[in-house]
Amino acid sequence: MSLAFKKQQKLLKTDDFSSVFDFRRALTGKYLTLSYKPNAMVHARVGVVVAKKSFPTAVERNFIKRRMREIFRLNCNHIQPLDLVVRPRQQIRGVGYNALCADFLELVAKIR
């Protein structure tokens, strides 16, 4: 079993993101908003959207994206086949990895 974050696990195209947002299903946690849509594949895919207005520096936006992709990569085997779009909330600033991971897994568990 490979732990790599493969290209097939990523939402890459604008149409993929749009279809998830158009499905209009979302859950909000303490630090994240998770939009989701079932997919016809055998694995989950993820995309991370970080607003420039909320997080003005590229360093901050990229750090959040890397952290969310890592959480997904380590837990993707436990997620049903879904397209997920993760959006951080303002409260994410200064939050530790474990709290963020717990919030993400809690939101994913609510989908089931």
Interval 40-86: pLDDT, tens = 999 999 999 999 999 999 999 999 999 999 999 999 888 999 999 99
Q: What is the distance between the alpha carbons of residues 93 and 112, in angstroms, rounded to a whole number?
A: 28
Query: What does pTM read for this prediction?
Result: 0.91
Q: Are 78 and 100 in contact (CB under 8 A)?
A: no
Task: Work out the percent of the chain whose per-residue pLDDT is above 90.
Answer: 85
The two counts, helices (H) then strands (E), for the chain are 3, 4
